[in-house]
Structure 1
Amino acid sequence: MENNKAIIENLNDLVQINNDRIVGYENALKQIEEEEIKEEAVHTDLRNLFLGFIDDSRRFKMQLAKEVQVLGADAETDTSTSGKLHRAWMDIKTTFTGHSEKSILEECEFGEDAIKKAYESALEDEDVPVYIRDILNAQLSILVDAHDEIKLLRDSA
């Protein structure tokens, strides 16, 4: 029973950070809409990329929420406090520095680093059942690819 409580807590943390990721990419979409990114093609590519990442996180959080319910608890529906604080800081920073393609991608990479760390931390729990571990590893693999793509774009911006 105590193991289930820890697993539920870890899964709910991952639901929250996926919610953070969704809100973060929605904010990034607003920023690229507001900003004149160099080329329309770049703007469209970033928009499609961010929308894909939002879809991934929606799918991930639904999978995780289902497992939380199977374990007998309610899934989180909110974002994390740290995610809210980070977004507030970014709003203040943006007021003074504006939006650039590079700054948007830097913030996206920051978020990707955070979600990777959260998944890695959850996977460190030895009591996580194999079937949940498989779900987390599959999601982490997609997140690592997303991180690498964002980092590559940031480095070339």
Structure 2
Amino acid sequence: METTTEKSIEVLNDLIEINNDRIDGFDRAAKELDASDSDLKGIFEQFASDSRRNVQELSAAVGQAGGEVETGNSATGTIHRAWLDVKATFSGHDRKSILEECERGEDAIKKAYRDALSPDNGLSLQHSQIVAQQQQLINQGHDTIKALRDSQV
């Protein structure tokens, strides 16, 4: 039977993986943009940087809990597929399509954070605080992408 600590480590590692997916997605997006989309490049780079910081904080929490830190991306599941879809759409697509795919990826990470904070996961108060703080930034990122997408004609 899984202990509360083991469950917390698993939840934190899942968040590390999706943040790694997000980093890869936004890094790729920033590289694939046309010069006319330079405004998006800065936003995408900032979101990738935010997720790098999230990974550092989550990794420290996993280490303090005595767990082994995940270093890769998610191997399966809807979260990984959502960011793979984002990564696959950049070539030859218009700005609105890129933003729509980015929003799909943001929807996935937003859900992962919401699920992580479920009482069933039994995160400690310290871990819950870390996740809740990161969730605020994730939600802001989602809202930014959604607003940019909605502003496209």
- TM-score bracket for this pair, using the shorter chain length: 0.7 to 0.9
1:87 is displaced (CA, Å) by: 4.9
Q: Which secondary structure does the structure 2 equivalent of 1:65 belong to?
A: helix
CA gap 1:112/1:86 in 2 versus in 1, 3 angstroms: closer
Q: Deviations over 1:70-127 (max 9, x none)?
A: 11111111111245544554566566xx221111111110111101100110100352
Q: In the alignment, does 2:147 pair up with 1:115?
A: no
Identity of aligned residues (%): 41
CA gap 1:111/1:121 in 2 versus in 1, 3 angstroms: same
1:4-83 correspondence to structure 2 within 5 Å: 4-32=5-33, 35=34, 40=36, 43-81=37-75, 82=77
Q: Which has the higher helix share?
A: 1
Q: Which secondary structure does the structure 2 equivalent of 1:137 belong to?
A: helix
Equivalent pairs, count:
148
Which blocks of at least 5 consecutive residues in structure 1 are unaligned?
A: none
1:44 is displaced (CA, Å) by: 2.1
**What RMSD in Å do the two structures reach over aligned CA positions?**
1.9
Cα distance in 1, alignment partners of residues 137 and 86 from structure 2: 25
User: Could you tell me the TM-score, scaled by structure 1's length?
Assistant: 0.85
User: Could you tell me the TM-score, scaled by structure 2's length?
Assistant: 0.88
Cα distance in 1, alignment partners of residues 15 and 57 from structure 2: 11
Structure with larger Rg: 1
Cα distance in 2, alignment partners of residues 140 and 88 from structure 1: 22
Which portions of structure 1, spanning 4 or more consecutive aligned residues, are displaced by more than 6 angstroms? Answer: none
Higher relative contact order (CA closer than 8 Å, sequence separation 6+): 1
Cα distance in 2, alignment partners of residues 55 and 91 from structure 1: 17
